[in-house]
């Protein structure tokens, strides 16, 4: 824990080890802000909502979302909005505090759950926690952008003798180097984490992601709201995706541990299984489809019309290409949502199918139709 990558540095951004969508373009966070407001309206404008972000990075995404909330302040005027950030890295929480409050925060040693609190530049209260369990219950919107891919995985290989776990060992030839080995026999993880119907020969399982998605599903089932997950991943088709990044280049995961960002693709089919039908799920759909459905093209036109200099134009088009191009981020990132069942199906639809007005569609997951 004291030598971990995020505890020591967490290098997001141009000068770091990897870059994320909110760092590339403000439009990304704005559209996510719109998604939450759209869900809030669709569920009858509850009097209060919490926006809870898991692993908020530098706070860029929350900052963009807060800008949307303040631009739509008249719409949200009767709603009590609060921001709750789940962050384990002391370094990153300082950066977030600076970005979101201008550094005006109080640490909270007497409160076990909230370790820091402050007020955003737009006057919205912000609280910091180390664990999702510490976030108060209530109608909430949860956001996990590039969060699940950073959680540790177990790796398994199918062999003639059955499943074996891939473990890390010291290389006997080179004592200060690590190597991968197969477990000599089955391990508790091979017994517990592989689905009986598995057809792949190599599987990565992230049990911690399973636990967290179950906690989120229970909260949505009980208190309402929505979960939006944006991450690179697959629907149970990929095998070996574990990799490291340093200075924006691929890095051997076993070399110099704690100095590079380690990541593995999120298996959305596993998340869906772990939810066990507690909530409805939508997706995964590709980032470029989701952003197109959210109206990214219209937003780009507006920003292009409002910017007069060539450099800004160039930057806007370049960042749009990064987000949308199938060869860049457009196809490898996916959006996945959890919603209460009644958000998609009327509770009494079975008995009186004709009586209810249709439910509003969920933004982003269907085509955008402009009247």
- Which stretch of DSSP H or E encloses residue 32? helix 26-42
Lowest mean pLDDT among 34-38, 111-115, 195-199, 224-228: 111-115
Number of Cβ atoms within 10 Å of the Cβ of 181: 14
Domains and CATH numbers, the chain: 5-152+206-343 (3.40.50.12710), 154-203 (no CATH)
The confidence band for 204, taking pLDDT boundaries of 50, 70 and 90, is very high
Average pLDDT over residues 283-287: 97
Q: So what's the pLDDT on residue 19?
A: 76
Q: So what's the pLDDT on residue 140?
A: 98
* Paired strand residues for 179: 169
- Report the alpha-carbon distance of residue 176 to residue 255 in Å, rounded: 10
DSSP 18: B
Helices (H), 122-267: 188-193, 207-223
- Which stretch of DSSP H or E encloses residue 10? none
Q: What is the 3-state secondary structure (H, E, C) of 306-330?
A: HCCCHHHHHHHHHHHHHHHCHHHHH
Could you tell me the pTM of the whole model?
Answer: 0.94
* 296-326 tens-digit pLDDT: 999 999 999 998 899 999 999 999 999 999 9
Would you state the torsion angle of the CA atoms of residues 305, 310, 313, 314, taken in this order, to the nearest 10 degrees? 160
Q: So what's the pLDDT on residue 111?
A: 74
Check if the beta carbon of residue 179 is closer than 8 Å to that of residue 169. Answer: yes
- Which stretch of DSSP H or E encloses residue 297? helix 296-306
Percentage, residues of the chain above pLDDT 90: 81
* 107-119 tens-digit pLDDT: 877 777 999 999 9
């Amino acid at each position: 824990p004291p030598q971990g990558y995020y505890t020591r540095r967490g290098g997001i951004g141009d000068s770091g080890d990897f870059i994320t969508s909110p760092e590339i373009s403000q439009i990304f966070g704005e559209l996510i802000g719109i998604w939450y407001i759209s869900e809030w309206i669709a569920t009858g404008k509850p009097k209060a909502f919490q926006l809870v972000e898991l692993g908020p990075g530098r706070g860029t995404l929350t900052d963009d979302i807060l800008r949307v909330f303040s631009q739509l302040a008249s719409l949200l005027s009767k709603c009590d909005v609060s921001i709750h950030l789940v962050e384990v890295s002391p370094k990153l929480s300082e950066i977030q505090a600076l970005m979101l409050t201008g550094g005006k925060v109080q640490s909270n040693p007497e409160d076990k759950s909230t370790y820091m609190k402050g007020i955003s530049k737009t006057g919205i209260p912000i609280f910091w926690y180390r664990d999702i369990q510490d976030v108060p219950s209530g109608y909430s919107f949860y956001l996990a952008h590039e969060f699940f891919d950073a959680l540790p995985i177990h790796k398994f290989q199918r062999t003639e003798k059955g499943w074996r776990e891939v473990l890390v060992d010291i290389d006997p030839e080179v004592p200060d180097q690590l190597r991968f080995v197969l477990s000599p026999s089955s391990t508790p993880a091979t017994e517990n984490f592989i689905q009986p119907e598995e057809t792949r020969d190599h599987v990565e399982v992230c049990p911690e992601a399973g636990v967290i998605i179950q906690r989120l599903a229970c909260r949505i089932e009980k208190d309402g709201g929505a979960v939006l997950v944006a991450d690179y991943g697959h629907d149970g088709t990929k095998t070996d995706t574990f990799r490291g990044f340093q200075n924006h280049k691929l890095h051997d995961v076993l070399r110099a541990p704690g100095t590079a960002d380690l990541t593995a693709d999120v298996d959305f089919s596993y998340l869906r299984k772990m939810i066990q039908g507690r909530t409805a799920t939508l997706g995964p759909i590709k980032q470029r489809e989701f952003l197109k459905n959210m109206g990214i093209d219209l937003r780009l036109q507006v920003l292009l019309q409002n910017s007069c200099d060539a450099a800004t134009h160039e930057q806007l088009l370049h960042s749009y290409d990064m987000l949308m191009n199938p060869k860049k981020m457009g196809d490898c990132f996916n959006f996945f949502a959890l919603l209460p069942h009644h958000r998609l199906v009327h509770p009494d639809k079975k008995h009186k199918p004709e009586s209810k007005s249709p439910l509003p569609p969920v933004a982003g997951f269907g085509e955008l139709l402009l009247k």
